[in-house]
Chain A
Amino acid sequence: KAGVTQTPRYLIKTRGQQVTLSCSPISGHRSVSWYQQTPGQGLQFLFEYFSETQRNKGNFPGRFSGRQFSNSRSEMNVSTLELGDSALYLCASRGEWGGDTQYFGPGTRLTVL
Chain B
Amino acid sequence: QKEVEQDPGPLSVPEGAIVSLNCTYSNSAFQYFMWYRQYSRKGPELLMYTYSSGNKEDGRFTAQVDKSSKYISLFIRDSQPSDSATYLCAMGPYGNNRLAFGKGNQVVVIP
Contacts and interface: CB of A to CB of B under 8 A. Distances in A.
Partners in one complex: yes
Interface of A: 4, 31, 33, 35, 42-45, 48, 50, 55-56, 58, 90, 94, 97-98, 101-107, 109
Contact of A106 (B43, B95, B102, B104): B43
B46 interface: yes
Contacts of B95: 97-98
Contacts, number: 56
B36 A104 contact: yes
Contacts of B34: 101
Contacts of A56: 96-98
B11 interface: no
Given A42-B103, A104-B36, A58 B44 contact: no
Interface of B: 32, 34, 36, 41-46, 49, 88, 90, 94-104
B101 A42 contact: yes
B45 A104 contact: yes
Contacts of B94: 98
Contact of B42 (A31, A45, A50, A106): A106
Contact of A94 (B45, B97, B101, B102): B97
A33 B97 contact: yes
A48 B96 CA distance: 10
Contact of B98 (A4, A33, A106): A33
Nearest to B8: A42
Given A97-B95, A98-B94, A98-B95, A104 B43 contact: yes
B43 A107 contact: yes
A94 B34 CA distance: 14
Contacts of B100: 45
Nearest to B103: A42
A104 B44 contact: yes
A103 B43 CA distance: 9
A89 B18 CA distance: 32
